[in-house]
A and B are shown apart, each in its own frame.
Chain A
Amino acid sequence: MTTSAQPDWSTGRVLATAPVAADVQRITIQRPARGRAAPGSHLDVRVPVGDTTDVRSYSIVESDDDGSQLTISVLRVPQSRGGSAFMHTLVPGDELPVTQPLQNFPLSVAAARHVLLAGGIGITAVAAMAQALRRAGDDYTLVYAGRSRERMAYLDELAGLHGDRLVVHIDAEQTPLDVAELVGSIGRHPRSGATELYMCGPIRLMDAVRRAWESAALPLVNLRYETFGSSGWFQPEEFVVTIPERAVEATVRSDETILGALTRAGIDLMYDCRKGECGLCLLDVEAVDGALDHRDVFLSTTQKADGRTISTCVSRVVAREGSPNGPRVSLTLP
């Protein structure tokens, strides 16, 4: 069990692709064997974005025994101009740069109970975990929530594998997930203190679970989640960022980050994780026209509400109704 590693890039070859739900493409990639990919691990792939390239992270849904054939599943994001749209064009035989399996979301079998919660495409991060827990004979429940059956990848396969341990919630069928009830049931269980909840899904869902978890006074360390910094409260839109002390003004396109736009504008900023976890890229907010869309997990709820700092690698600004000049944020360097 490795917790993380430096990305080791090599050429991956697409072996097979198939649609597995509306807008979801399953893609199997061959790469040099490196040992079976552990549950919770992901692949980084390099994708063309505009006239440059960028890195996207996709959870590994399936790995063969030596880790040479890895399957991911990619949701096409409607406003995507880069990553997911490119991934959907891949056909067998195509090649693209990929890393070895990287692990930031490790499953611990030490917990007495496991609840796995997937919202939509988040199923890709927890499907392999459910498999491992099933194989180990552990106590687990897999909760899978989605908007409609057609949009939920792997639903039939999971039902066959996990039987009663799979609990499905579908908005279109009037059986939506009740977060308060889910967290409440964990809190009422006699082994509540020894239950780990692993979740992956839209940030609104994860924020709701986090708030319910805090108010149920469950141990925060038992709430396990991963974000690739790609999910916010609002749809990404274009906005303007300024650094008054350097007289810099840059446009942040909907498919790039503040960090990227400022770097392009010649500002040398410190950063590391690029997914809103480490806190190295924080800048102070001097003024904002619009609303901050915090997408990081470094700042606490209170700090996000204060709005005095922003994680430039993932967080954004969106227009507020009645702001005539479009969204803008002005930041100060450390």
Chain B
Amino acid sequence: MADLMPSGKVTAKIFPHPLNAWYAVAWDHEVTGKALMSRTVAGRPMALYRTRDGRPVALADACWHRLAPLSMGKLVGDDEVQCPYHGLRYNSAGRCTAMPAQETVNPSAMVPSYPTVERYRYVWVWPGDSTLADPDLIPDMHQMDHPEWAGDGLTIHAPCNYQLILDNLMDLTHEEFVHGSSIGQEELSESEFRTRLESDGSVTVERWMLDVEPPPFWRKNIRDRFPDFEGRVDRWQIIHYYAPSTICIDVGVAPAGTGAPEGDRSHGVNGYVMNTITPETDRTSHYFWAFMRNYRLDSQLITTQLRESVRNVFAEDEAMLAAQQAAIDANPDHEFYSLNIDAGGMWVRRILDRMLEAEDRAPVRSAAGSAVGSAP
């Protein structure tokens, strides 16, 4: 048996992010062939655009010459970017193709071109070793664009370390205290839950609340499908975590006792809360979310209503995460302690820790007890 890791090793408060991973950098519609946009992923500023044939491109957002941001430049030709400062041009592979005032191009001149894939309504980028970028490693978010699902989402620019958001999503007891007016109810912290590491490396946290009053959000949803519905429900939350930072939550309610826990959900309503978190810096994150449903697919009204109510719910999380990050920074000598509800979040940390270990960037604890990542 391998040695046990020291207690506290994986509860670094500012968690480093793996670099050899796919991260959503933008919604598909945000990246265009008309103008460049700038976004930072895993500490790496990127200039994003599409080639004339529609392929998304992510170049490092700093010219090889004097590091002027390429995102301030313009698109030229079929797939090139022109630096806004001295006009050096780069193709979509990041190779410099033109330099001012000379007949040749310095063979060293290039900027990193990060591997990109467009999938599930997002553009994904791989900020690490590009020779390891395998598109099969993109987490399964098929509900985003599957014909049996409908819905929409938005992006939160969250002022906190990405791990705090993963913690938030891996333990939903907080709904009772943070979201009391919409989805919270006291049975959340009373019901049993089961946390397990799956054989495919994902983590599942499953919680059933049987024979409970539906909170306002769910009463509305089940009545959208069954307008005459009255009474109590069986409610479920099944959280699926895919490394490094995607969490898809199977949620829903069905009339109590109609067989949902045994697998018959036909009398109820089912949603999927899709979350993929992209570290921007150590203390800021791009939080892409969507709420998908598998009933009344043609109702744009319901799509918009659900997006707006989830937006309001997530605004409550955002306020908590911002306040938590501020408190962490104000208390550098205080440690994190764990509760049994943290099992999901702790699995996430262990998986991330192993990814970081493989990159030789695992969190290390300083003498004072605070943890810092080693530099990339």
A residues bordering B, Cβ < 8 Å?
1-4, 33, 35-36, 38-39, 65-66, 104-111, 132-133, 135-136, 220-221, 224-227, 277-279, 297-300, 302-303
Contact = CB atoms under 8 A, between A and B. Distances in A.
B104 A298 contact: yes
B263 interface: no
Contacts of B97: 221
A3 B108 contact: yes
Given A108-B95, A135-B131, A224 B376 contact: no
Given A108-B94, A277-B106, A3 B131 contact: no
A108 B93 contact: yes
B104 A1 contact: no
B93 A4 contact: no
B105 A278 contact: no
Nearest to B64: A3
Interface in B83-136: 91-97, 102-108, 110-113, 115, 129-133
Given A108-B93, A221-B91, A277-B108, 9 more contacts: A3-B111, A3-B112, A107-B131, A108-B113, A135-B131, A226-B107, A278-B106, A297-B107, A298-B102
A302 B102 CA distance: 12
Contacts of B93: 108, 110-111
Contact of A300 (B91, B95, B103, B115): B103
B101 to A, nearest CB: 9
A35 B376 contact: yes
Given A221-B97, A226-B108, A303 B113 contact: no
B140 interface: no
B166 to A, nearest CB: 26
Interface string B289-318: 000000000000000000000000000000
Contact of A66 (B91, B111, B133, B360): B360
Interface in B168-204: none
B106 A297 contact: yes
Contacts of B64: 3-4
Interface string B54-87: 0000000000100000000000000000000000
B131 A298 contact: no
A181 B107 CA distance: 24
Contact of B108 (A35, A105, A300): A105
Contacts of B130: 1, 108-110
Contacts of B115: 109-110
A191 to B, nearest CB: 14
Nearest to A2: B112
A277 B99 CA distance: 12
B80 to A, nearest CB: 10
14 contacts: A1-B130, A3-B111, A35-B360, A35-B376, A105-B107, A107-B131, A108-B95, A108-B113, A221-B97, A225-B107, A226-B108, A279-B102, A297-B107, A300-B103
CB-based closest 9 A-B pairs: A300-B103, A104-B108, A110-B93, A1-B112, A136-B131, A132-B131, A221-B95, A277-B106, A221-B97
Contact of A65 (B92, B107, B360, B376): B360
A174 B214 CA distance: 84
A110 B113 contact: yes
A277 to B, nearest CB: 5
A262 to B, nearest CB: 23
Interface of B: 64, 91-97, 102-108, 110-113, 115, 129-133, 360, 376
Contacts of A38: 129
Contact of B107 (A33, A224, A300, A302): A224
A302 B91 CA distance: 25
A311 to B, nearest CB: 11
Given A3-B64, A279-B102, A109 B131 contact: yes
Nearest to B361: A35
Contact of B105 (A105, A133, A221, A227): A221
Most central of B113, B131, B132, B360 by chain A CB within 10 Å? B131
A298 B106 contact: yes
Nearest to A106: B110
Contacts of A133: 131
Nearest to A66: B360
Contacts of A33: 360
Contacts of A3: 64, 108, 110-112
A135 B95 CA distance: 23
B103 A303 contact: yes
A84 B288 CA distance: 55
Contacts of A106: 110
Contacts of B132: 136
Nearest to B376: A35
B31 to A, nearest CB: 17
Contacts of A132: 131
A83 B95 CA distance: 32
A84 B104 CA distance: 30
A227 B106 CA distance: 11
Contacts of B91: 221
B103 A299 contact: yes
Most central of A221, A224, A277, A298 by chain B CB within 10 Å? A221
B249 to A, nearest CB: 34
Most central of A107, A135, A136, A226 by chain B CB within 10 Å? A136
B95 to A, nearest CB: 5
Contacts of A4: 64, 108
A104 B108 CA distance: 5
B107 A277 contact: yes
B47 to A, nearest CB: 15
Contacts of B106: 277-278, 297-298
Contacts of A279: 102
Contacts of A1: 112, 129-130
A99 to B, nearest CB: 16
A135 B134 CA distance: 12
Contacts of A300: 103-104
A115 to B, nearest CB: 16
Nearest to A303: B103
A224 to B, nearest CB: 7
Contacts of A35: 360, 376
Contacts of B104: 297-300
